[in-house]
Amino acid sequence: MVIRCPRLGHEVNFAYCRQEAGVYPCERVIYCWQGIFKVDDFFREKMGASAWEEFKNRVPSDKITNLLDLMEQVRSRRI
């Protein structure tokens, strides 16, 4: 199964999207795959209902906050 990834700008398969963020899928996984198969059912089974619901209800932080968070992570790794 191959689709074009709007974030990377080339084709990827579902194996990539389902674990793009390590233990979590890519945050676009629903919008990229829901028209193709029952992505909701798939992740509910694989991740467990509560983890999947938690993932779906996340509100991504804005970019600046995310960058500052990464800076903090770098600093904390050095302490």
Partner 1 sequence: MEQMKVILSDSEIPRQWYNVLADLPTPLKPPLHPATGEPVKPEDLAPIFPMNLIEQEVSTDRWIDIPEPVLEKYLLWRPTPLCRARNFERLLNAPVRIYYKHEGTSPAGSHKPNTAIAQAYYNKVFGTKRISTETGAGQWGSALSMACQMFGLACRVFMVRVSYDQKPYRRIMMHTWGAECIPSPSELTEAGRMVLKQNPDSPGSLGIAISEAIEDVVSDPEARYSLGSVLNHVLLHQTIIGLEAELQMKMIGEYPDVVMGCAGGGSNFGGIALPFVRDKIYGKQVTIVGAEPTSCPTMTRGPFAYDFGDLAKKTPLLAMHTLGHDFVPAPIHAGGLRYHGMAPIISHLVREGLVEARAYNQLETFEAGINWARTEGFIPAPETDHVIAAVVDEARRAKEEGKEKVILFSWSGHGLVDLASYEAYLSGKLQPYELPEEEIERALKAIEGFPKP
Per CB under 8 A, residues contacting partner 1 are 1-16, 18-22, 26-28, 30-40, 42, 56-75, 77
- Residue 21: strand pairing partners: 24
| Smallest separation, CB 44 to partner 1 (Å) | 11
Q: Which is nearer to partner 1, 48 or 61 (CB)?
A: 61
Q: Which is nearer to partner 1, 50 or 77 (CB)?
A: 77
Give the C-alpha separation, 40 to 25, whole Å.
Answer: 12
